Amino acid sequence: MNRIDLAISAIGLVKHYDGGRAKALDGLSIDVAQGAMIALVGPSGSGKSTLLYALAGLVDLDVGTIVIEGRRPGGEADWTRLRASTIGLVFQESWLLPTLTAAQNIELPMVGVEASARVRTRRVEELLETVGMAGFAGRMPDSLSGGERQRIAMARSLANGPRILLADEPTGELDSANSARIMEMMAKLRAERGVTMLIVTHDPRMAAYCDRRYEVVDGTGTYVD
């Protein structure tokens, strides 16, 4: 496949922490096709999360090249634009802003991107519907359960209509019922919207929803199926 057709192409990523003592990525390369749903698996500390954050432009790499949808982001401003338009992020914890309501948390990525308040409000309503949280718009995060918060976080990651979703153990803090709900939601999103997904997970059931598994060990990785 031509690299221009790939959603993500990362080549030779190297990242050291602690002044070079800890190696998180050691020349890792990965290609992700448009619309693919990939599980990033591997032992703790192998570099999965660093890879995920690097693919979102949130890690300053020592060496390596990342191409998103055929274009190599030129710098911080490019990455910021990508996160505001093309790349959505979901984390292990929901990390909703505690001072904002559920609806405002979902609206947050649209502030400064979508000028029309009416459009923003309509999109928030749609996303609340999508994640099964209609009627929760005015609720504060501390009044929601862990599963509900994670669904709001999922809606937030979709606010600007990203074509790539990077998720760092999105079910890691959830019970099995809520985990299943999130997984089904992600699979549905991929099926309906063609969103490319890269999901860090230790959960084999989550990995089973994915097309392929990419295993990261000691900062390098390879597709294992």
Partner 1 sequence: MNIVGVAASNLRQRRVRSLLTVGGVAIAIAAFVAFIGLSRGIENTLRHSLDTRGADIIIVESVSEDYLSSVVPEELVERVREEPLVAAAAPELDRMTTLADGTNVFVVAWPEGAFGWRNLTLVEGRLPTTVDGGAVVIGVSLAERLGIHVGDTVDVFFSPFRVVGIVDSGNVINRNLVVGLLGDMQTLTYRTGQATSIVAQLSPEAGDDGREAAVARLRAMLPTYTVDTTEALISSSMHVNVARVLAWSISTVALLTAVLGILNTMTMAVNERRREIAIMRAVGWPKRRIVACLLIEGGLLSAIGGAIGCAAGTAIAWTVSGSPNVSGFVVPDITAVLLAEAFLIALAMGMVSSLVPAWGGARQSPAAVLRGH
**Interacting residues toward partner 1 by CB under 8 A:** 17, 49-50, 53, 56, 58-60, 76-77, 80-85, 89, 91, 95, 97-100, 104, 107-109, 111-113, 117, 120, 156-157, 159-160
Nearer to partner 1, 26 or 95 (CB): 95
Region label for 95, one of left (φ > 0), alpha (ψ between -120 and 50) or beta (otherwise)? left
**Residues forming a β-bridge with 215:** 41, 222
CB of 208 to partner 1, least distance (A): 26
DSSP three-state, residue 124: helix
Nearer to partner 1, 97 or 134 (CB): 97
How many Å apart are CA 192 and CA 143, to the nearest integer? 30
CB of 183 to partner 1, least distance (A): 22
CB of 98 to partner 1, least distance (A): 7
CB of 94 to partner 1, least distance (A): 10
Nearer to partner 1, 149 or 209 (CB): 149
| Continuous H helices in 1-86 | 48-55, 76-83
Non-local CB neighbours of 29 within 8 Å, separated by 6+ positions:
10, 11, 12, 13, 221
Nearer to partner 1, 201 or 209 (CB): 201
- 76 burial class (0-12, 13-18, 19+ CB within 10 angstroms)? exposed
CB of 100 to partner 1, least distance (A): 6
CB of 223 to partner 1, least distance (A): 24
How many Å apart are CA 172 and CA 91, to the nearest integer? 9
DSSP three-state, residue 24: strand
If one counts every other C-beta atom within 10 angstroms of the C-beta of residue 84, the result is 18
Nearer to partner 1, 29 or 104 (CB): 104
Nearer to partner 1, 31 or 107 (CB): 107
